């Protein structure tokens, strides 16, 4: 009777075990060094970009306001994974309660969906700036940008809310070991000892209605941008127009390439080393927040000037 009671309690309140990089568990302290450096660069870089745009009135323009949203979503992704990643690597704290794990999953995926939505909004911004530059600021007013940003955030919350709720109702009676030092839906959905068809279908709907739709809209935006640029008579004008898109194109490549890599590895690379899916997932979650602020700071003259003004004031 007591054994059955204990078993039922474990179903209701299971503990999930997180995993560092497979094959390198004995070197967690050493592995933690590049992760600490990566998080420091990501948090500092996006924090500085966010601070510069908020403080500098000359940057309160559509392009930079969207960049501000991108920095917020990437800070959210980094802060969502940081506690458990550093906990696993620095303190070998692998255990996490199911509710805490589901909460982390919700925030990681919500901010990732926001990332995707903001990248689409930035593609739309570039199209309007190139197609109709004279009415650029009258079309993308601050109110419309706020409404668009709020819609992107609301979409993330509404679409992600059912996933942890659907997982929470299922019994967990297997070895609850995840392949990463954080909680992701594709891994958690493999743990319940019950039918997860609804969970799979809901997850697929979320992916198609966010990442799939956003990537399609980004491609269509750039088809229209390319068509507009090719219709320009001036070669210098074409180059200048395309040059304004370079930073955004880099951000899109940095975001979607690791995502596709993670999906391919999980689907077709099951017989490869278990280290590969772990590395791909870490690249997907860490590389964009690290490199995007660096790329925009290097490629955007206005941000470089604003950074110079901010550092010259010595208010840090």
pLDDT band at 312 (very low <50, low <70, confident <90, very high): confident
Two structure tokens written together for 164: 């942890």
299 contacts: CB under 8 Å, gap ≥ 6? 246, 247, 250
pLDDT in tens, 157-196: 999 999 999 999 998 876 788 888 999 998 899 889 889 9
Say yes or no to pLDDT of 287 above 80.
yes
Q: What is the mean pLDDT of the chain?
A: 88
Task: Give the orientation angle of helix 62-91 with respect to helix 28-55, to 10 degrees.
Answer: 160
What confidence score (pLDDT) does residue 22 get?
76
Say yes or no to pLDDT of 27 above 90.
no
What confidence score (pLDDT) does residue 254 get?
92
What confidence score (pLDDT) does residue 267 get?
62
Say yes or no to pLDDT of 26 above 80.
no
Tell me which range, 18-27, 160-169, 299-308, is most confidently predicted by mean pLDDT.
Answer: 160-169
Per domain, the residue ranges of the chain are 17-314
Of the given ranges (3-7, 109-113, 211-215), which has the lowest mean pLDDT?
3-7
What confidence score (pLDDT) does residue 305 get?
87
What confidence score (pLDDT) does residue 271 get?
57
pLDDT band at 3 (very low <50, low <70, confident <90, very high): very low
Say yes or no to pLDDT of 311 above 90.
no
Query: In CATH, what number does 17-314 get?
Result: 1.20.1070.10
pLDDT band at 79 (very low <50, low <70, confident <90, very high): very high
Span 205-210, average pLDDT: 94
pLDDT in tens, 212-242: 999 999 999 999 999 999 998 888 889 999 9
Of the given ranges (2-6, 99-103, 270-274, 296-300), which has the lowest mean pLDDT?
2-6
Residue corresponding to tokens 């709020």: 150
pTM for this prediction: 0.91
pLDDT in tens, 245-272: 999 999 999 999 888 877 777 666 555 6
Contact at 8 Å (CB) between 310 and 54? no
What confidence score (pLDDT) does residue 8 get?
46
């Amino acid at each position: 009777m007591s054994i059955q009671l204990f078993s039922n309690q474990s179903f209701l309140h299971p503990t999930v075990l997180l995993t560092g990089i497979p094959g390198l568990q004995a070197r967690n302290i050493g592995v933690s060094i590049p992760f600490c450096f990566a998080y420091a660069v990501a948090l500092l870089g996006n924090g500085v970009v966010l601070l510069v745009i908020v403080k500098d009135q000359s940057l309160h323009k559509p392009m930079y306001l969207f960049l501000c949203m991108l920095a917020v979503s990437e800070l959210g992704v980094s802060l969502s994974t940081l506690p458990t990643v550093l906990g696993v690597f620095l303190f070998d704290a692998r255990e996490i309660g199911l509710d805490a794990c589901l909460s982390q999953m919700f925030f990681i995926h919500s901010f990732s969906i926001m990332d995707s939505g903001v990248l689409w909004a930035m593609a739309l911004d570039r199209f309007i700036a190139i197609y109709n530059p004279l009415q650029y600021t009258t079309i993308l007013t601050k109110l419309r940008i706020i409404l668009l940003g709020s819609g992107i955030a609301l979409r993330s919350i509404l679409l992600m809310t059912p996933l942890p709720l659907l997982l929470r109702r299922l019994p967990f009676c297997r070895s609850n070991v995840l392949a990463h030092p954080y909680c992701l839906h594709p891994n958690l959905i493999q743990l319940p000892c019950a039918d997860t068809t609804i969970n799979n279908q809901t997850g697929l709907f979320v992916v198609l209605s966010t990442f799939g739709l956003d990537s399609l809209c980004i491609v269509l935006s750039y088809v229209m941008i390319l068509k507009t640029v090719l219709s320009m008579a001036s070669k210098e004008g074409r180059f200048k127009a395309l040059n304004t898109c370079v930073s955004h194109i880099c951000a899109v490549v940095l975001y979607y390439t690791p995502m596709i890599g993670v999906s391919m590895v999980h689907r077709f690379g099951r017989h490869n080393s278990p280290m590969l899916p772990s590395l791909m997932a870490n690249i997907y979650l860490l590389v964009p927040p690290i490199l995007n602020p660096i790329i925009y700071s290097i490629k955007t003259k206005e941000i470089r000037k604003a950074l110079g003004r901010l550092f010259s004031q010595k208010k840090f």
